[in-house]
Structure 1
Amino acid sequence: MKEWQGVSEFVAVAELGSFSAAARQLGMSVAQVSRNVRELEQRLQVLLLQRTTRQVHLTEPGTLYLQQCRPLLHGLAQANQQLLDLQGQPSGLIKLTAPVFYGETVIAPLLHDFLKKYPRLQLELDLTNAQLDLVKGGFDCAIRLGQLSDSGLQARKLGSRRAYLVASPAYLAEQGVPVQLSDLSQHRCLVGSVEYWRFEQQGQKLQIRPTPYIKCNSGVALTDAVLKGLGVTQLPDYYLLPHLQQGTLVELLPELQPKDDGIWALYPLNQHLPQKVRLLLDYLQQQLA
């Protein structure tokens, strides 16, 4: 099968844009990846990649070759995975990404419990609030929260989250309790990365854009600020539920609470979902329902 040697390395370099990134993904040394691609070019007697000191670019023949090789490698991976699935006990690596706080507090503990059930699996979890490219990054799936954009990915709903408008008892004792949306203009608003607060009244969706007293892209920081009586904020339930249950925060305008958002697993379209990933998504859906 000499014709296959270097093909996986070439596709990885072409998709990731560097030899070092391809080496990390393939678990090889940079020198070995470079050598295998060079030998592939020598066998084909054509230059596939234009190398500079900082970047790697596809040549015109390289672009054509990539278009043909990518589905072949995908089909080979599917065939291998289907054979592994027949063996019953799932094994191998699951690579996924999730938002930082939700990943740390909810997803990671569930993944650890899942690994205890299936000890032949390995996990690579990338916690980031950035929207990573699943194909380029080699991810099996991504956990995303809230309303989805049209990303061209397959989506599976795992659960729901609820947004609460809250303040501390001390803040409300000092500043008063808002009884309608217009009252919020008279309050100190603690605003996150989403500039609009959402509400719903008799089936009609409403939005307001509060003037920030504090603006911060960290839900953890905003939770600390609202607990210390600095203002009013709207955050998802996983930041607030313990504090609402303990009475250290108070829900405001509950009659205007918006409908729940989704918690989603995203994965590439038209991709055979390996048994190990299907089992994981079934488990997460059961736990997050």
Structure 2
Amino acid sequence: MAGWQGVSEFVAVAEVNSFTVAAKKLGTSVVQVSRKVSALEQRLDVKLLHRTTRNVALTEAGQLYFDQCKQLVEGLEEAELAVMQMQREPKGLLRVTAPVTFGEQHIAPLAHEFLKHYPQVSLDLNLTNQTLDLVDNGIDIAIRLGRLKDSSLIAKRLGDRQLYVCASPDYLAQHGTPEHLDDLAAHQCLISAMDYWRFREQGNERSLRVSGRIRCNSGLALLNACKAGLGLVQLPDYYVQESLHSGELVEVLANYRDTREGIWAVFTPNRNLSAKARAFVEFLAISF
């Protein structure tokens, strides 16, 4: 910005009445400081400093200009210090988005623990199953599950999850237990937003289209339908582990489990990732 050129040099000289001392303070040469101040005087068409071989003094116009500019320079220094401090110390509003159920069960409790460690950070946690654009929505960190689509975002793997195909004992007693993937065609499958399930057969990935009477975009709703004996379901471990341990659900087709999927923290490729975002990602990685 042309209006700012030479101002910092002028204020530095005016504060100490010396080009030499001002140059040392600014970490530059006397010639450079003198050139910048002269250019400022020429642009303003006014003499700001009386120069002699022994000292430097402000003119009347220079005193007026100094009184105004000193506040501006101090304000700029405070602003730069605040930004630098923010980069070193986690503080300010942290915007995070995560899938609903995973966010409720895992991210929210960890985020609350994170806030205890960093009292100067505040949190805006948006739980949604929609894939939000980080830039458009001003989001610092997005938690994504499974396989990531190609993008320009940076992703850090926090952990992983396992998909299970489950059924209730009552359902299996009535309809039998599928032993092979082709057996799914004869079963009621509880379908999420995608009507295919993923498996690994003889070391190769296989996607299998399934069908059934119920389709729902809520994992919890599908889990409850499965517990009620309405069909088979494929869900991540954090939905079904408790029910599997209790015997309320039974895993089927275990030999065809797909490989574990990633749990990711995703953020924009900014070299100057804020301290609050960097600390949160590190906290999640350690916790997972």
What TM-score do you get using the length of structure 1 for normalisation?
A: 0.70
SS at match of 1:215: coil
Distance across 1 between alignment mates of 2:174 and 2:121: 54
Three-state SS of the structure 1 residue aligned to 2:130 is coil
The count of corresponding residues between Structure 1 and Structure 2 is 213
The residue that corresponds to 1:182 in the other structure is 182
Whether the 8 Å CA contact 2:163–2:258 is kept in 1: the answer is yes
Counterpart of 1:120, as a letter, is Q
1:109 paired to 2:109 = yes
1:205 aligns with 2:205: yes
In the aligned structure 2, how far is the partner of 1:83 from the partner of 1:225? Answer: 51
1:194-233 mapped onto 2 (5 Å cutoff): 194-233=194-233
TM-score normalized with structure 2 length = 0.70
- Cα distance in 1 for partners of 2:188, 2:81 equals 58
Q: Distance in 2 between matches of 1:148 and 1:231?
A: 29
Asked if the contact 1:78–1:272 (Cα under 8 Å) also holds between the matched residues in 2, the reply is: no
Matched letter for residue 96 of structure 2: L
Unaligned ranges ≥5, structure 1:
5-76
Write the deviation string for residues 89-135 of structure 1: whole angstroms up to 9, x where unpaired: x2211111111111111100110011111112110111111111111
Distance 1:254 1:223, change over 3 A: same
Check 1:281–1:229 CA distance in 2 against 1; reply closer, same or farther (3 A cut): same
Q: What is the CA distance between 1:136 and its match in structure 2?
A: 1.8
2:87 aligned partner, one-letter code:
D
Root-mean-square deviation (Å): 2.0
Q: List, as ranges, runs of 4+ consecutive aligned residues in structure 1 with deviation greater than 2 Å.
A: 77-86
Query: Which residue number corresponds to residue 86 of structure 2?
Result: 84
Task: Give 1 or 2 for the bigger CA radius of gyration.
Answer: 2
- Note closer, same or farther for the CA distance 1:254–1:79 as it changes in structure 2 (3 Å cut): farther
Counterpart-to-counterpart distance in 2, 1:84 and 1:154: 21
Aligned partner of 2:114: which letter? F
Alignment partners' CA distance in 1, 2:213 and 2:223: 14
Distance 1:78 1:254, change over 3 A: farther
Give 5+ residue unaligned stretches, structure 2. 5-78
**Cα 1:85/1:199, change in 2 over 3 Å:** same
Contact 1:96 1:142 in 2 (8 A): yes
Q: What is the distance in 1 between the residues matched to 2:82 and 2:269?
A: 19
What is the 5 A alignment of 1:94-133? 94-133=94-133
Distance 1:78 1:230, change over 3 A: farther
- How far, CA to CA, are the matches of 2:281 and 2:227 in structure 1? 34
Sequence identity (%): 47
